[in-house]
Structure 1
Amino acid sequence: MTAGSASAAVRRPIRIGLIASILTGVLLLLCCTGGTAAFFLSGLGGTAEDGDSLAGWGCGPVRPVDITGELPRFAEYGDTQIRNAAIIIKVGQDMGVPSRGWVIALATAMQESALRNLANSGVPESLALPHEGVGADHDSLGLFQQRPGWGTVAERMNPAYTARKFYEKLVKVRSWQRRPLTVVAQQVQISAYPDAYAKHEELASTIVDALAGGAARTVEINGKAVCNAAERGEIAASGWTAPIPGDVGSGFRTTERPSHNGVDIGAAKGTDIRAAAAGRVLVARCDPDDRGRRSCDVDGYPGKGGCGWFVDMLHAGGYITRYCHMVTRPRVAPDQIVPAGEIIGQVGSSGNSSGPHLHFEVHQRSDRSSRGAIDPVPFMRQRGAPLRAAE
């Protein structure tokens, strides 16, 4: 896809709150012509103070969290707060909650208390000790700011107790591993600011990875946590999955194709395309070709221009994913909230394409233009949903 192929609207950045059978290399290189500088892992947010990147922590086997030993340091939080995070994760481990739950619980506590065990002005201080600060809500206590119905004062000031109560309610939420974190957290917490949880998801994943051996990049398969395997609709604890199984044949902004803003993943026509993460549909339509024609119901050809039938989705953290060259009209519509792994369309060859495949893009900072595009390969690998390289 060329930098300007997905219509004038795609070229304009937007600001929104929240909220790939394998083709031959020749075909993929011919497909959608068109793709920021190298994407650095430190740009993910939540960098450890000692300079370790997410990749440096490895992935698996998932290790039990040690809440008493030395813990990684983060610029955003002090030792006491990270130790509270470790308690939250360990409780989830002890209860057998899948690691996606640890990310959700951690992000929730980050929003509710900044990982501090808070007392409040409405409870006598003698009943709320020990505590790490005073919260604003007159009857809410602890890491999750739970109200009296969750337990006694002493129980709600016990980090392990409050984490257990959160998980007990979390696992009863329908499809909680696939739905947007902010939606799930809200069903547990019933907060006045439900959209606020989303901004903590990425850092929560990073902390889970640091404390539990890359756990945010694992997926539950037959009851076991498997690293870097979120591919066929399985969802990694990070909340991400590969949009289709298949090999990357044409890469991001190569020497031959410097304006190729995504990657091409070979697959047979009709292969299901899945939402790479939970999010909201921004665009689902036929992209005009270079002559302004909306002719997406027929196979395209190299040089035709346009993305064909395509979808743009907005995810937590301001990330946008794009899915081009679908065979027919997408299954989703603008403003629809879509769970991770949901089928949004099928692989085709509409638009500027030489054969069936998925053109997949990732953008940051809620910017749908070429300025926001980043390489999807390292981005997806760091989320446990790697796009395979062709052999």
Structure 2
Amino acid sequence: MSAGTDTSVRTRAARHLALTLALTATLVLLCCTGGIGAVLFSDDDSDSVLFTSFGCGQDGPVDLSDGMPSIGPYGPDQIANAAVIINVGVDMSVPPRGWVVAVATAMQESALRNLPHLGERNDHDSVGLFQQRPSQGWGTPEQLQDPAYSSRKFYQKMLTVDGWETMTLTDTAQRVQVSAFPDAYAKHEPLATQIVNALTGGAARAVLGADGLRCAAGAEIAASGWTRPVPGNVGSGFRTSSRPGHNGVDIAQPKGTLIRSAAAGRVIVSRCDPDHNGRLNCNVDGSPSTGGCGWFVDILHADQVITRYCHMVSRPDVGEGDLVDAGQVIGKVGSSGNSSGPHLHYEVHLRGDRSSRGAVDPVAFMRDRGAPLGERG
């Protein structure tokens, strides 16, 4: 078979796969308005113009008329393999969070390439998208070279991991893969989420509830593993012209409202922040002249992301060193410290940097993870 013929066959296969994926997903995914996502295609499905939209995406419908797109460093053939992974997840009724975990795992193991045995360069007898080993009982070399088969085997083992839905992605992947590099999967989560969103019109932003799939909202945990810390709209924003040193956002809520960890992680700070005079005075309402965060918590998450929760009404419910799940209650809204009224001051820091240098806009950060904060009122 010539290279040109091989490429043509792969292109047609990718188009058929995209159509199958969209049709299957459309039957099982509910969009936010309660309707079914639209699929439009021509009579000639080999040249189909395919659009999918499930109401949870930010980018609108996806045009796959020319086969699979390139996304980031991954070309159409690699994205076609990601589509197989997702399609198998749909067929097995795995929630979208699982699709993100599986795609990220394959990104780390094979760069989304269906690898054969690589001889001396190979890791033992590992083959395929997930570098599964025949000698470890995953299947025969021929079976593991089938992307659909290897994806199904990955999901089957993942579903045996208790609590995988709220674990960090890297912990879930490691429980399945038992890699020598257990933290290697975390760095792929943002792009894996983007790929799933691109191929499904935003399904990675959906969550699984008692009534099926719906868009992430409230305290529900998005497929990315993130959730809003409190309900309500953002008031004072990030580094506004009037408050250039405001390194987070303020969300007004009544005193006593539960504050939840925005993602799984480890508590690295849980204490009373001294006021301007160095006094620990957090058990009373503060004021704009008091200074400090009051009772507050910092949590370290995967990828060296830190979230901060300020002005709690009393001592936090978690202590330093505690491991917390996404959505776990860590304290209650109050007005301690530099505060003019009950609210949560919420910050996001990157690169493990707790200082102002590491702070980023929480609104954009949370939106990208499918757990948007309420729009500014």
- How does the TM-score come out when normalised to structure 1? 0.77
Shift of 1:223: 4.0
CA contact (8 A) 2:294 2:337 kept: yes
Q: How many residues align?
A: 322
Shift of 1:121: 4.4
The question of 1:359 aligning with 2:345 is answered yes
Shift of 1:335: 3.2
Match for residue 185 of structure 1?
Answer: 173
- After superposition, the Cα gap between the structure-2 partners of 1:67 and 1:143, relative to the gap in structure 1 and judged at 3 Å, is farther
Match for residue 80 of structure 1?
Answer: 77
Q: For 1:65 and 1:203, how far apart are their aligned partners in 2? A: 17
Shift of 1:187: 1.1
| Alignment of structure 1 residues 227-246 onto 2, 5 Å | 227=215, 229-232=216-219, 234-246=220-232
Q: For 1:377 and 1:367, how far apart are their aligned partners in 2? A: 18
Deviations 1:91-132 (A, max 9, x none): 11111111000011111111111111122246xxxxxxxxxx
Match for residue 318 of structure 2?
Answer: 332
Match for residue 373 of structure 1?
Answer: 359
| Alignment of structure 1 residues 1-391 onto 2, 5 Å | 60=55, 70-121=67-118, 136-148=122-134, 149-227=137-215, 229-232=216-219, 234-391=220-377
Q: For 2:211 and 2:115, how far apart are their aligned partners in 1? A: 35
Shift of 1:230: 3.1
Q: For 1:67 and 1:75, how far apart are their aligned partners in 2? A: 16
Match for residue 25 of structure 1?
Answer: none
Q: For 2:308 and 2:249, how far apart are their aligned partners in 1? A: 11
Q: Gaps (5+ residues) in structure 2? A: 1-51
Q: For 1:156 and 1:389, how far apart are their aligned partners in 2? A: 46
CA contact (8 A) 1:179 1:338 kept: no
Q: For 2:194 and 2:353, how far apart are their aligned partners in 1? A: 23
Q: For 1:223 and 1:365, how far apart are their aligned partners in 2? A: 38
- After superposition, the Cα gap between the structure-2 partners of 1:261 and 1:276, relative to the gap in structure 1 and judged at 3 Å, is same
Letter in 1 for 2:286: G
3-state SS in 1 of match to 2:307: strand
Q: For 1:156 and 1:147, how far apart are their aligned partners in 2? A: 8
Which protein has greater RCO, CA pairs closer than 8 Å, 6+ apart? 1
Shift of 1:359: 0.3
Letter in 2 for 1:256: S
Q: For 2:81 and 2:163, how far apart are their aligned partners in 1? A: 27
CA contact (8 A) 1:67 1:86 kept: no
Q: For 1:220 and 1:68, how far apart are their aligned partners in 2? A: 30
3-state SS in 1 of match to 2:298: strand
Q: For 2:369 and 2:340, how far apart are their aligned partners in 1? A: 30
Q: For 1:64 and 1:166, how far apart are their aligned partners in 2? A: 29
Shift of 1:208: 0.8
3-state SS in 2 of match to 1:324: strand
Match for residue 7 of structure 2?
Answer: none
Shift of 1:297: 2.0
- After superposition, the Cα gap between the structure-2 partners of 1:269 and 1:278, relative to the gap in structure 1 and judged at 3 Å, is same
- After superposition, the Cα gap between the structure-2 partners of 1:65 and 1:107, relative to the gap in structure 1 and judged at 3 Å, is farther
Shift of 1:361: 0.8
Q: For 1:248 and 1:67, how far apart are their aligned partners in 2? A: 36
Q: For 1:359 and 1:65, how far apart are their aligned partners in 2? A: 36
- How does the TM-score come out when normalised to structure 2? 0.80
3-state SS in 2 of match to 1:325: strand
- After superposition, the Cα gap between the structure-2 partners of 1:89 and 1:68, relative to the gap in structure 1 and judged at 3 Å, is farther
Q: For 1:225 and 1:349, how far apart are their aligned partners in 2? A: 36
Letter in 2 for 1:287: D
Q: For 1:150 and 1:203, how far apart are their aligned partners in 2? A: 27
Q: For 2:213 and 2:192, how far apart are their aligned partners in 1? A: 18
- After superposition, the Cα gap between the structure-2 partners of 1:156 and 1:135, relative to the gap in structure 1 and judged at 3 Å, is farther
Shift of 1:225: 2.6
Letter in 2 for 1:153: P
Which is worse superposed, 290-299 or 201-210?
A: 290-299
Deviating 4+ runs (over 4 angstroms): 61-69
Deviations 1:239-262 (A, max 9, x none): 111001112121112222121111
- After superposition, the Cα gap between the structure-2 partners of 1:65 and 1:222, relative to the gap in structure 1 and judged at 3 Å, is farther
